[in-house]
Structure 1
């Protein structure tokens, strides 16, 4: 495996989840301290990783970075950094039995001192565009007022070839554990795991594969070195000799941390990114199935020792219904279960809710949907992983004047959210609108567009009351008669962190 250093999103705009902490120490006079109730404060530093597009010489990629404006709506005055820059390398390493989609193109070195994207202030997106297959992976850090809620999206269009499609992915925080249901080692598929290391020391990762009959054994997926500030992509069909339509990919690290995402390409239905499912839990929400979906396939996996029995419900415009013939799903322990839900939506948008069939037993599972729109030669694929609720705030960074649909679902109690369309990257005035989501339903709306929009804009969703509310944004850009689309889920951006308060307690000095 060759290794190459990777591009840096230098400075600032990184969506890494930052874990806040507060230290409590004894003062010089020996008095101890006591804690008050914790306060939620904005994070001061966050990190983010974007995978290398690495698709085709025909690929056109746009990066959009955005930090929501402060609650007051005023631009922050404190110093902060938000700069996207490239390092000395322009291409990720590749472990794919010698295959390459850009064999004749030489690797280009980038100027490490020249910023690619400079985000100047919260509330207005910054963008950059790159072409071809040599665009590298990106890694970066946001500080100061640009850190809380920082979000970035990588959107790639490929008009022809096996990798054709609209591929979108929200750049992810580094972590040590990722689950990807709905991958595949079938002959018609070419799925890569992209691993990106943000740190200045090497990371070591393991990739485990689980098919319908259990573990797909392979020694090749163990101990994969991801060099410092570098990216590696691994073709998962080279990790096993078995072909399986539905495969769950589990990425863990032995040392260090990585960003991980799967790029899936199908010879018939095109390409898109598959983001990680939310961590294993007993109840899952998969929001935002398009109304015109022609095929919906659910893939689930139970990583523990127990089988999972799940109730499957579609949360539509008027309430919850059970898909005929697929009201329940049995997922055997450590075996991937896949079921074709076919014309699930029947012309209406919806979201899928998976909950324990037995109220007394909630077995943790992960899940994702493979969604196809169009027919025949005009099909296009997208993926919807299970996701957490919007929480305090969540953002979709890349939206155009047309083509965005925002899906909001309240699986339990009714909820109300506020949606803010930011200023445009090249001009426009923010617009805000409030939506009510009835209990047990999905509301799919054309989101507000900034007045006088020029360029692209961001959508920020904030929970106002009730809920929880889960959300996703579908971006559609038709090309050549194909309804090319991509779906990004909107979990809480973790822009604030709980910090315990402390004060001196001199009473402990009394006898």
Structure 2
């Protein structure tokens, strides 16, 4: 009986206090406060998707998972890559309601499980039906988490060293450099990490514009599943240089293209950076015997770009190929042949007229070797390494790191992690002159056993673009693959929030 009056009195006192505070600090009389800048905090969750590696009985695949050590380790967390259900295009087009349950049941046991930052873990398989992988990292293993899938196929039509950095899910991907020609067998792999089905569209563009295709519309990718699509079956036109555009109507997917050339081996083609006016394509090997640029302008305007090679000592324009005209919604290509002439290099594309920067996407098809000993790899345009970028699966021999500073000179720190089976990290700092490409044999962990990861951090100066070449010769063939490095997005900007009691004042 006594509690009601006391509660009422307490409520009146509290209301009076709030009202009095609001009256003394009315919006018009408020002392102006300086808004605090947003802070950057480590991400708490990351997702990665790895495509099905190969259908060849001669394929041997290595998976490597890695998270760089951070200043603030945070909660323990975990990082696991688990199998996705493998579906044919027909199964995806006419989905079985039981498929989702089947996929969920199959994705229980992780193929690769990372337990601590700073030391990679690896796994191997030689199964021809090895599935795509779907992964999630949480806690201290989420910021900067990366995974590499490296497959060696020693013979057959898909011969080659195929390297892919597992990608995060998205809704929009551009792949200039694909093909529907008879000499190529290019598959686009679509992987869905989520609990509900995704619906994707695939558009194809050649030198004369859009390629007719009815099959590429409304492709269903069931939950936790992966679907490969042979690109040449999406159209009746055989075209050498094709830009592939993958978008989703609903849901998110990961997308990569496995390109196989009857005469030059095979490799993965990763998506180009989002359309923009200036592009950098880093890491052309010094001994490249053929370099072909494929570019595409997705907007309504044509693009005129300057083509420049950033070499070991300076930037110059390739003779006879200093500019490229790209018509709207049409692919354009240049055969740059052996443009590096024995020195490493990177390509830069900039608008001819600075005030008319038309967004474009681009990729390079790079060949090493000659005749039947040729081997192919692809280098898409990529963003700068920014604060930090990492690449996994480096070997004691065969790794080359290319660092390119398209503007001002820059200083970068390169950390070689501990090995998957032993060894201690090593650190080295490099200075990259403006407008040049520096190719180095990266530091190797002391006492290395297994494979290791490289982390590149910008210390000072202008932006730096980077790529890692992994070369594993086999049977007299200089088999190789190139992976670009871009900012790992390990931190996000979090706005500072504070109480605003003026909201109580009507």
Q: Same fold, TM exceeding 0.5?
A: yes
The partner residue of 2:137 within 138, 142, 151 is 142
Q: Provide the C-alpha distance between the structure 2 equivalents of 1:385 and 1:474, rounded to a whole number of angstroms.
A: 13
- Please say if residues 108 and 134 of structure 1, whose CA atoms lie closer than 8 Å, have aligned partners that are also in contact: no
Asked if residue 153 in structure 1 is aligned to residue 136 in structure 2, the reply is no
Secondary structure of the corresponding residue to residue 503 of structure 1: coil
Pairing of 1:234-273 with structure 2 (within 5 A): 234-273=229-268
Q: Provide the C-alpha distance between the structure 2 equivalents of 1:174 and 1:510, rounded to a whole number of angstroms.
A: 45
Q: Provide the C-alpha distance between the structure 1 equivalents of 2:215 and 2:113, rounded to a whole number of angstroms.
A: 40
Mean Cα deviation higher: 314-323 or 129-138: 129-138
1:334 maps to: 329
The verdict on how the C-alpha distance between 1:278 and 1:108 changes in structure 2, with shifts beyond 3 A counting, is: closer
Secondary structure of the corresponding residue to residue 115 of structure 1: coil
Q: Residues 115-154 of structure 1: CA distance to partner in whole angstroms, max 9, x if unpaired?
A: 3222110000011111132000111111000000000010
Pairing of 1:90-169 with structure 2 (within 5 A): 91-94=86-89, 112-169=107-164
- Please say if residues 157 and 165 of structure 1, whose CA atoms lie closer than 8 Å, have aligned partners that are also in contact: yes
Secondary structure of the corresponding residue to residue 237 of structure 1: helix
1:52 maps to: 52
Asked if residue 504 in structure 1 is aligned to residue 502 in structure 2, the reply is no
- Please say if residues 86 and 110 of structure 1, whose CA atoms lie closer than 8 Å, have aligned partners that are also in contact: no
The verdict on how the C-alpha distance between 1:269 and 1:95 changes in structure 2, with shifts beyond 3 A counting, is: farther
Q: Provide the C-alpha distance between the structure 1 equivalents of 2:426 and 2:166, rounded to a whole number of angstroms.
A: 25
Q: Residues 152-210 of structure 1: CA distance to partner in whole angstroms, max 9, x if unpaired?
A: 01000000000000000000010000000000011100000000001111100000000
1:294 maps to: 289
Report the structure, 1 or 2, having the larger helix content: 2
Shift of 1:389: 0.2
2:76 maps to: 79
1:476 maps to: 471
- Please say if residues 103 and 224 of structure 2, whose CA atoms lie closer than 8 Å, have aligned partners that are also in contact: no
Deviating beyond 6 angstroms after TM superposition, the runs of 4 or more aligned structure 1 residues are 29-34, 107-111
The partner residue of 2:217 within 200, 217, 222 is 222
Aligned residue-pair number: 471
1:101 maps to: none
Q: Residues 248-298 of structure 1: CA distance to partner in whole angstroms, max 9, x if unpaired?
A: 000000011100000000001000000000000000000000000000000
Q: Provide the C-alpha distance between the structure 2 equivalents of 1:354 and 1:190, rounded to a whole number of angstroms.
A: 28
The partner residue of 1:282 within 277, 281, 294 is 277
Q: Provide the C-alpha distance between the structure 2 equivalents of 1:135 and 1:283, rounded to a whole number of angstroms.
A: 38
The partner residue of 1:319 within 314, 323, 338 is 314
Question: Greater CA radius of gyration, 1 or 2?
Answer: 2
Q: Provide the C-alpha distance between the structure 1 equivalents of 2:40 and 2:328, rounded to a whole number of angstroms.
A: 38
- Please say if residues 52 and 92 of structure 1, whose CA atoms lie closer than 8 Å, have aligned partners that are also in contact: no
- Please say if residues 316 and 351 of structure 1, whose CA atoms lie closer than 8 Å, have aligned partners that are also in contact: yes
2:70 maps to: 70
Q: Provide the C-alpha distance between the structure 2 equivalents of 1:483 and 1:187, rounded to a whole number of angstroms.
A: 24
- Please say if residues 148 and 495 of structure 1, whose CA atoms lie closer than 8 Å, have aligned partners that are also in contact: yes
Secondary structure of the corresponding residue to residue 232 of structure 2: helix
Shift of 1:361: 0.5
Shift of 1:359: 1.2
Secondary structure of the corresponding residue to residue 156 of structure 2: coil
* RMSD (Å), alpha carbons: 2.3
Structure 2: give runs of 5+ residues left out of the alignment. 1-17, 28-32, 92-101
Q: Provide the C-alpha distance between the structure 1 equivalents of 2:108 and 2:464, rounded to a whole number of angstroms.
A: 42
Q: Provide the C-alpha distance between the structure 2 equivalents of 1:232 and 1:425, rounded to a whole number of angstroms.
A: 31
Secondary structure of the corresponding residue to residue 282 of structure 2: strand
Q: Provide the C-alpha distance between the structure 2 equivalents of 1:420 and 1:480, rounded to a whole number of angstroms.
A: 32
Q: Provide the C-alpha distance between the structure 2 equivalents of 1:422 and 1:375, rounded to a whole number of angstroms.
A: 35
Shift of 1:78: 2.2
